[in-house]
Amino acid sequence: MILTRRKLIGGIAAAGGLLSGCDKLDQSPGFKKILFKAEDAHRFLQRSLSNRAALAHEYRPDQMSPVFRTNGTNNPGTPEYQAHADSRFANWRLQVDGLVRRPLALSLAQIRSMPTRTQITRHDCVEGWSSIGKWHGVPLKLVLDQAGLRSDARYVVFHCADLFGGQPYYESVDLIDAFHPQTILAWGMNNQLLSVGHGAPIRLRVERQLGYKQAKYVMRVEAVDDLRHVRGGKGGFWEDAVDYEWYAGI
């Protein structure tokens, strides 16, 4: 269910007997306060009413964008990363650790041999561009099941290979998104192996959220009980840097 802000403000104002014409409402000194509260209420309702398990829309192949630009880091550029890229990630391992019973170090071949999900979805960057692309990857759930999440795990953190403005990029999701069927560790895009620009060897796709959640160059998946102990404490690079929302639902 999608609530538009206007409907909700209308609803709240009407419920309070305040809606006796927009002009009057605009002039009322309390208007700004009501609007602010409505904004908060809107967010709260949107979050609690939207079904977090619902699938993001999937598109047809003919709807795919002819060009899917890159954004943020387009090459981590460190000597370690370059060595991995040069050897086509043959010696690279994905670390899966933290609050798990069996820490894993998975090769790209192992990840690619796991069941693959392919989905054509729309990527929405907060900067105002969108592209439709096809992603191929292993459902994160299968990786977490293999590692055996401990019962105190609450979030999954994705540590990336790149520094952005000198700080490591990272992101995190809660377990609802971690186990969502469209949440995948993607190793392919548009019928090819993931390019360096789009996050090789793997990147996260968490399709119900905005672009900055889609961590590229994922090196380590860490299960934690509390995001406050991770880096700046707000659960992601942009969340720490400029107060982007941690839950970036669309």
Ligand X SMILES: Nc1nc2c(c(=O)[nH]1)N[C@H]1C(S)=C(S)[C@@H](COP(=O)(O)O)O[C@H]1N2
Cβ pair 179, 141 in contact under 8 A: yes
Q: What share of the chain is helix, strand, coil (3-state, %, to 5)?
A: 30, 25, 40
Provide, rounded to whole angstroms, the least separation between the CB of residue 125 and Mo ion: 3
Work out which of 3, 125, 142, 250 binds Mo ion, going by CB under 5 A. Answer: 125
Which of 94, 89, 188, 201 has its CA nearest to residue 137? 188
Residue 238 within binding range of Mo ion, rule CB under 5 A: no
Q: Which is nearer to ligand X, 155 or 169 (CB)?
A: 169
Backbone torsion region of residue 21, taken as left when φ is above 0, otherwise alpha when ψ lies between -120 and 50, otherwise beta? left
Residue 211 within binding range of Mo ion, rule CB under 5 A: yes
| Position with the least CB separation from ligand X | 72
Q: Which is nearer to Mo ion, 95 or 131 (CB)?
A: 131
Residue labelled with tokens 């208007």 = 31
| Alpha carbons 128 and 122: distance in angstroms, whole number | 13
Provide, rounded to whole angstroms, the least separation between the CB of residue 79 and ligand X: 17
Instruction: Select from Mo ion, ligand X, none the partner in contact with residue 169, using the beta carbon and a kind-dependent cut-off of 5 to 8 Å.
Output: ligand X
Provide, rounded to whole angstroms, the least separation between the CB of residue 238 and ligand X: 7
Provide, rounded to whole angstroms, the least separation between the CB of residue 126 and ligand X: 7
The residue range among 61-69, 120-128, 137-145, 218-226 that interacts with Mo ion, by the rule CB under 5 A, is 120-128
Instruction: Select from Mo ion, ligand X, none the partner in contact with residue 137, using the beta carbon and a kind-dependent cut-off of 5 to 8 Å.
Output: none
Buried b or exposed e, range 68-100, using 16+ CB within 10 angstroms = beebbbebbeeeebeebbeeebeebbbebebbb
Provide, rounded to whole angstroms, the least separation between the CB of residue 96 and ligand X: 17
| Alpha carbons 55 and 209: distance in angstroms, whole number | 11
Provide, rounded to whole angstroms, the least separation between the CB of residue 134 and ligand X: 12
Cα dihedral 199, 204, 206, 207 sign? positive
Instruction: Select from Mo ion, ligand X, none the partner in contact with residue 92, using the beta carbon and a kind-dependent cut-off of 5 to 8 Å.
Output: none
Work out which of 68, 92, 158, 212 binds Mo ion, going by CB under 5 A. Answer: 212
Instruction: Select from ligand X, Mo ion, none the partner in contact with residue 222, using the beta carbon and a kind-dependent cut-off of 5 to 8 Å.
Output: none
Q: What residues line the site for ligand X (CB under 6 A)? A: 69-73, 125, 160, 162, 164, 169, 198-199, 211-212, 214-217
Which of 227, 218, 230, 224 has its CA nearest to residue 247? 227
The token pair that represents 67 in the structure block: 């060009």
Interface with Mo ion (CB under 5 A): 125, 211-212
